[in-house]
Amino acid sequence: SQQGEEDPQALSIQEGENATMNCSYKTSINNLQWYRQNSGRGLVHLILIRSNEREKHSGRLRVTLDTSKKSSSLLITASRAADTASYFCAGSEKLVFGKGTKLTVNP
Amino acid sequence: GAVVSQHPSWVICKSGTSVKIECRSLDFQATTMFWYRQFPKQSLMLMATSNEGSKATYEQGVEKDKFLINHASLTLSTLTVTSAHPEDSSFYICSARDTGVDYGYTFGSGTRLTVV
């Protein structure tokens, strides 16, 4: 399965702090993607990192990928209340999601 | 950017009736679309892969006759929940892949189905 498993399941921080979420997967992947979901809404694609990349940046997002450990991390810097959402990772062609990390950023 | 329109955003129906949910790719063609359902505070569960012009591929445990999928064109896939029951109440989301967005998938905004 290319399902990702995120941890922690819940994370609560203060505005301005950084938030780090982790993702582990079991099978080989061509790429790994991170998504966010606001409550009761669809998912929004955040960033994709390919299997031959180790780190990728997009605005306040930084994603790392360690294929030897089959893990990835998503770092959100200088968090804002609007970042409050659930975050999911998934791999490659068939998107199968883990339970996600529910991030709460307190103003 | 790639946009997927899902309709309706919410629907309430009576037990025993059928409900159709539409998923449209507005500015790109999608040979493949995916249907998910999500229970409160749970992850998205992949139900089926919808293939344009051919039969959908269902995940294990998903009833084909219960959840009818039709992908008649490159921009439209529909999910019909037949003979709905209260346990079918859930949040249904579709997604499609637009290769123009670096292999990312675009999701619809979801449909909240409540069966009473």
- Measured torsion, CA atoms of residues B95, A31, A21, A9, in degrees rounded to the nearest 10: 50
Q: Give me the residue from B4, B49, B109 closest to A41, CB to CB.
A: B109
Give the minimum alpha-carbon distance from A35 to chain B in angstroms, rounded to a whole number.
9
Give A29's pLDDT tier (boundaries 50, 70, 90).
confident
For B13-28, write each residue's pLDDT tens digit: 999 999 999 999 998 8
Mean pLDDT of A7-17: 94
pLDDT at A16: 97
pLDDT at A31: 87
Cβ distance A40 to B110 less than 8 Å, yes or no, reads yes
Spatial contact of A83 and A103, defined as CB atoms under 8 Å apart: yes
Residue whose entry in the numeric block shows the structure tokens 């959100």: A76
Q: A101-106 and A10-14: which strand pairing?
A: parallel
pLDDT at A15: 97
Phi, psi of B54 (to 5 degrees): -145, 180
Residue whose entry in the numeric block shows the structure tokens 């569960």: B45
The residues pairing with A95 across neighbouring beta strands, listed in sequence order, are none
Residue A4 above 80 pLDDT?
no
Measured CA to CA, the distance from residue B95 to residue A80 in angstroms comes to 27
pLDDT at B99: 66
Spatial contact of B108 and B3, defined as CB atoms under 8 Å apart: no
Give the minimum alpha-carbon distance from B93 to chain A in angstroms, rounded to a whole number.
7
pLDDT at B94: 94
- At position A63, the amino acid (one-letter code) is V
Residue A1 above 60 pLDDT?
no
Per DSSP, the three-state class of A83 is helix
For B33-73, write each residue's pLDDT tens digit: 999 999 887 888 999 999 888 889 999 999 999 999 999 88
Cβ distance B43 to A42 less than 8 Å, yes or no, reads no
CA atoms within 13 A on the CB side of B53: 3
Cβ distance B109 to A35 less than 8 Å, yes or no, reads no
pLDDT at A25: 85
Tokens of A10: 């819940």
Give the N- to C-terminal CA distance of chain B in Å, as an integer: 37
Chain B positions touching A34 (Cβ under 8 A) are none
For A71-97, write each residue's pLDDT tens digit: 999 999 999 999 999 999 887 666 777
Spatial contact of A1 and B46, defined as CB atoms under 8 Å apart: no
- Measured torsion, CA atoms of residues B56, B57, B58, B60, in degrees rounded to the nearest 10: 170
Measured CA to CA, the distance from residue A38 to residue A27 in angstroms comes to 28
Q: Give me the residue from A33, A40, A97 closest to B44, CB to CB.
A: A97
